[in-house]
Structures are given as C-alpha cells and as structure tokens.
Amino acid sequence: MALWRGSAYAGFLALAVGCVFLLEPQLPGSALRWLWSSLQLGPAPVPPGPGSPEGRLAAAWDALIVRPARSWRRVAVGVNACVDVVLSGVKLLQALGLNPGNGKDHTELRSRNDLEDAFVHFMGKGAAAERFFSDKETFHNIAQIASEFPGAQHYVGGNAALIGQKFAANSDLKVMTSISDIPTGIPVHLELASMTNRELMSSIVHQQVFSAVTSLGLNEQELLFLSQSASGPHSSLSSWTGVPDVGVVSDILFWILKEHGKSESRASDLTRIHFHTLAYHILATVDGHWANQLAAVAAGARMAGTQACATETIDTRRVSLKAPREFMTSRSAAGSRVMLNPNEPVVEWHREGVSFHFTPVLVCKDPVRTVGLGDAISAEGLFYSEVHPHS
C-alpha cells in the first residue's frame, strides 16, 4: 500500500509472505476464559470502573491519541486478498471427527490430524498460527466443511485487503498490482505473516526486501523466527513462555534497525517497526524520520481492545490489563527498569539513535472476532503516524 499526503509523498504496501492456511478460531466464551486464565499473563484484575487500572489507562489513551499534523490522503493497496471463514475451531475439529490431543507444531500441514495438532498447540499458547496446507484435496475438503458449517461467517481476508479496508473510509483508495507500480521515494509498509522456512526469511532480511521497505509490522512469533533465521540476538530462544519479555523484544527490534535499517552508510529505507503481541505493543523508530508515534502506538493498542470485543470504545468491564507491571528495557545492554503506570500508559526510551514507545493492551476477556486483528492494529498505528518528508 502507498499513501500520499499534501505535497509530500508517503506510503505503505501491505504484503503477505508465502501461501498460508489461516485458522484463528472464534471460541466459546467459556473456552477462552479458561485459555486466558491458563496463560497466567498477570495478576487478577481490579473490579472494572473509572478508578480501575483499565479505566485509568483507557482515559489516558483518549487524551494522548491525537491526529498527526499531516494526514494520509491517498492509499495504494497491493493485491493480496482471500476469504476468511470464521467459526469455532473446537466445533470444526468435532465436525472433522477429531478429538483434541496434546498438540504439536508442524512446519506445514498434510492431514486433518496435523491440523488438529497445530490447533491445540497454538490454542494452548493463546497465539494465532498460519501454516501452509500441502495436500490440496484435504485442504479443500476442510475448507468446504468449515464454510458450510452452521453459523460460519465469511469476511474479506488478506493483509493488504484488511489494511486497505481500514484506510478506505479516510483516504482515496487505489489498487496496485505490483511494487513496480509505486513511484520511487514513496515509503512502503511490509506486514509479515507467520513463516516456517528459515532460508526464505533469511533472504527477506538480508537481500532486497528489508532494505526496500520503510515500515514493518509483526508479532512475537514472526519476530523470534526472524532473529533465529538471521542469527540475531536471543536467537537461541526456542519459543516464548507466556508474555514475551519486553527487554528481549526490545533487543531484537534494536538489532533489526541497527543492522538492516536506514543509516548514512547503508542503502536501506527501513526506519520503523510496529511490534504487537497480546499484552503490549512497541513502536521502534530511527530518530528523525517519524512523528506522533506516542499517539500511534496508543491508537494501535486501543484498536486491539475495541475490535476484539466488537465495541466502539473500550468497555472496561470486558477488558483486562495483562501487561507486565515491571520490566527491563533491554536484556543485552544497560537497560533501565520501568514500573508501569496506567495514568501514563506510554513509556518511551532511547538507544543509540533508536526511539521506543511501549504501551500495554487492554485484552478482551471474551473476544468476539480476532481474525485480521494484527492488520487492523498496524493500519491504525500507520493512520496516526506522521512520516517526515525527507524519509
């Protein structure tokens, strides 16, 4: 996607990487409550209300979230679209005659049993997953059963289409068929998807992709896999346990921008990364290229709480603060210790020319719909961002 504003050109392109099979189930409320509590993401919430941590945080966001001085005016959307079929994952497994077991990750899916393994594995982690389904006949059979299941809902899907939808109400929209259609000098946003091929991810990082994009959006699975594939910091970590450690995440984001981001000695345009996970978000930017990032990270986090709960504004009765109340800003350098204050929910720190903006997420207790949530978060963060003309 590309965006134009006033006399300055600015933009982004939402790209999907690889061919994926996406199942982000709409679980019954009782199952989700069990899942959320089993993750042990934080202390039990205070009863909701204006004086609760959730109420104070939501009010602070509303005061912080302001439009950028120069707004996006035109949007160019890369072609990447599909149909998302949304239904209860548990009910789909039952319809397929499968009984949940212990769960196991698979780099690709070849059978119904592989689907069941992966579903249980990632449900236990409270994480979405995308995996390529290599057996065409089995895939179409599962997709047909899912599509025809009573109560199944059908939505527009695909990174570019979902991000484009978010901008369509506020900008002129133009569909673009390839990156070559974008004039030179226009910033490009890449929204990563879940991957299992380390060689492909390494080539994306080291060759022509990262240097050609200006902004990057990704979640905790994609961030760790990126570091593992490109021999980055904390790459020996096999997987996250519970909420991803803020200091570890910060170290990897810093490494991406310092090793692959824009600098005087490197021909790269990358200056911004929006990291989003269930409990918190971080925006990392190379100094001098972006403005209004405090509002942008807060807007992205607020979007996570409202879209998951299907509400216009944050309903403090339906959300819970799950972010760590205390964290280190780095695990590999001399980071500082931060105590989270709901009255001042955006924490800012700096490291060698890179600025970080952190904010917690108010997690929906009984999610209504989570498909495409990461794309909505990134779109909202971009909508409130302001790119400097020289970037």
Q: Which long-range contacts link 95-99 to residues 24+ away (Cβ below 8 Å)? A: 95/145, 95/149, 96/142, 96/145
CATH of domain 56-81+158-387: 3.40.1190
pLDDT above 90: residue 352:
yes
Catalytic residue among 84, 114, 251, 375: 375
Helix (H, G, I), strand (E, B) or coil at 266: strand
Q: Going edge to edge, which strands form the sheet with 130-133? A: 21-22, 130-133, 108-109
pLDDT digits (tens, 9 = 90+) for 199-227: 888 888 887 688 888 999 999 999 999 99
> Regarding predicted confidence, which is higher, 187 or 328?
328
Domain chopping of the chain, boundaries: 56-81+158-387, 85-155
Residue 2: the pLDDT is 54
Residue 167: the pLDDT is 77
Count the neighbouring beta carbons within 10 Å of the beta carbon of residue 300: 28
98 to 118, 123, 278, 388: CA distances (angstroms): 12, 15, 28, 53
- The tally of CA atoms less than 13 A away on the side-chain side of residue 331 is 14
The secondary structure of residue 318, as a DSSP letter, is S
Q: What is the reported pTM?
A: 0.78
Residue 51: the pLDDT is 86
Range from 47-51, 70-74, 127-131, 376-380 that averages highest in pLDDT? 376-380
Least confident of 76-80, 311-315, 352-356, 360-364: 76-80
Diameter over CA atoms, the chain: 59
Question: Is 375 annotated as catalytic?
Answer: yes
Beta carbons within 8 Å of 259's beta carbon, 6+ residues apart:
232
pLDDT above 60: residue 20:
no
Helix (H, G, I), strand (E, B) or coil at 115: helix
